[in-house]
Amino acid sequence: MSSRLIMGLILMASLGLAGAGCEWMTHCTHDPEGAIEGEIAEEGILEGIVEGEEEGQISEGLLDEGEADGIIEGETEGNPDLGCPGDCTYEVLHVYPHDPEAFTQGLVYENGSFYESTGLYGSSSLRKVDPESGSPYQMIYLSKAVFGEGLTIFGDKLIQLTWREKTGYVYDKNSFELLQEFHYNTEGWGITHDGGRLIVSDGSSTLYYWHPETFEVTGTLTVRYQGQAVRRLNELEYIHGIIYANVWETNRIAKIAPDTGEVAGWIYLDGLLPPDDQTGADVLNGIAYDAVGDRLFVTGKLWPKLFEIKLTPRW
Ligand SMILES: [Ca+2]
């Protein structure tokens, strides 16, 4: 286990993380366009198509899936659109506790546990969390020099990104032993996979397909809604053939076709975190799916709650 990376391993403990003062939150205060919640943000996340950019959103290599085939079966069946094609709103089915000091950057669910990556320099972590208590029963801190970002489970491994450090980590899913460190050329924001390819966001309107073992870029995808590029794509979850992406600093999740990049609809999560819980809370971030129980979970950075929601049509 790398001592440089790992600051500590704590079992069965709910830790008092270092204070998450906003002076650390470079990531939460960066807002070059001044986008805010609501309709203004809707404009803020869309950008014009770059002149001369071809409409074909798939770069060469995306369709060359041969290398990645057969590693893990792709998940293509099940409750399509999570029961809600097009634009959706939500019903809360269950409320779980969430560590209000967890600056959630990556969230996945498997076999009764959440796996979570948190950010901020000095308190970034990887944790396996008990849903009922919200407490981590397995957790490591990252080096103070890195800012934890997206997280995905790929087979028996966990893959975690960092923000500006351009460094990713591969861990044994059960022991959290660091197996590999790798590097990439963009910022790291969100990560998920379609069974054969890793899918990565970097805060722009581009999603990257990576080979799951070499981490080489095998394709890119420009995400667009009604012809306009959608930027600030953040935490991701691939569910039944659709890429779900938080759009940073909004209450919305984009539903993205993985072959064209077209946004087929939006999930509007306005009002999800009750006003009494908003003190100290940051933005919506974190989508996880229980493939066995067909349950969808969402939370946010420094949110005291995590929600199981059901999607309903938004008329
Ligand atoms: Ca996720």
Indicate whether 27 pLDDT > 70: no
Which pLDDT score, from 0 to 100, does residue 160 have? 98
Q: How far apart are CA 301 and CA 281, in angstroms?
A: 6
Least-confidence region, from 77-81, 109-113, 161-165, 244-248: 77-81
Length of the chain: 315
DSSP output for 53-75: --S--BPTTTT--TTTTTSS---
Mean pLDDT across the chain, nearest whole number? Answer: 83
CA angle 40, 44, 49 (to 5 degrees): 135
Cα of 312 from ligand 1 centre, angstroms: 20
Q: What is the tens place of the pLDDT at every residue in 186-229?
A: 999 999 999 999 999 999 999 999 999 999 999 999 999 999 99
Question: Residue 83: left if φ>0, alpha if ψ -120 to 50, beta else—which one?
Answer: left
Ordered by where they begin, the domains of the chain are 56-68+78-313 (2.120.10.30)
Indicate whether 14 pLDDT > 80: no
H helix or E strand, kind and range, residue 288: strand 284-290
* In contact, 190 and 201? CB cutoff 8 Å: yes
Q: How far apart are CA 214 and CA 310, in angstroms?
A: 36
Cα of 9 from ligand 1 centre, angstroms: 23
* In contact, 101 and 280? CB cutoff 8 Å: no
Which pLDDT score, from 0 to 100, does residue 45 have? 61
| Residues ≥6 apart with Cβ < 8 Å to 155 | 71, 72, 173
Cα of 64 from ligand 1 centre, angstroms: 25
Cα of 236 from ligand 1 centre, angstroms: 5
Q: How far apart are CA 144 and CA 125, in angstroms?
A: 10
* In contact, 285 and 104? CB cutoff 8 Å: yes
H helix or E strand, kind and range, residue 27: helix 26-29
pLDDT confidence bin for 78, thresholds 50/70/90? confident
Indicate whether 269 pLDDT > 70: yes
Laid out side by side, the sheet with 113-118 consists of 9-11, 136-141, 125-129, 113-118, 104-110
Which pLDDT score, from 0 to 100, does residue 110 have? 98
pLDDT confidence bin for 93, thresholds 50/70/90? very high
Backbone angles phi, psi at 140, to 5 degrees: -130, 150
Cα of 52 from ligand 1 centre, angstroms: 33
Q: How far apart are CA 125 and CA 161, in angstroms?
A: 11
pLDDT confidence bin for 315, thresholds 50/70/90? confident
H helix or E strand, kind and range, residue 26: helix 26-29
Least-confidence region, from 27-31, 83-87, 206-210, 279-283: 27-31
Q: Give the 3-state secondary structure of residue 81.
A: helix
Q: How far apart are CA 309 and CA 92, in angstroms?
A: 5
Residue closest to 251 by CA, chosen among 83, 89, 96, 141: 89
Q: Give the 3-state secondary structure of residue 142.
A: coil
pTM: 0.80
- According to DSSP H, which parts of 77-167 are helical? none
Cα of 135 from ligand 1 centre, angstroms: 18
Q: Give the rounded percent of residues in the chain with a pLDDT score beyond 70.
A: 76
Cα of 221 from ligand 1 centre, angstroms: 18
Least-confidence region, from 44-58, 203-217, 230-244: 44-58
Mean pLDDT within 164-187: 98
Cα of 245 from ligand 1 centre, angstroms: 8
Least-confidence region, from 40-49, 151-160, 286-295: 40-49
Q: Give the 3-state secondary structure of residue 276.
A: helix
Which pLDDT score, from 0 to 100, does residue 25 have? 30
Cα of 51 from ligand 1 centre, angstroms: 32
Cα of 249 from ligand 1 centre, angstroms: 16
In one-letter notation, the amino acid at residue 49 is I
Which pLDDT score, from 0 to 100, does residue 10 have? 42
Provide the residues around ligand 1 (an ion) whose CB is within 5 A.
Answer: 107, 237, 287
Which pLDDT score, from 0 to 100, does residue 125 have? 98
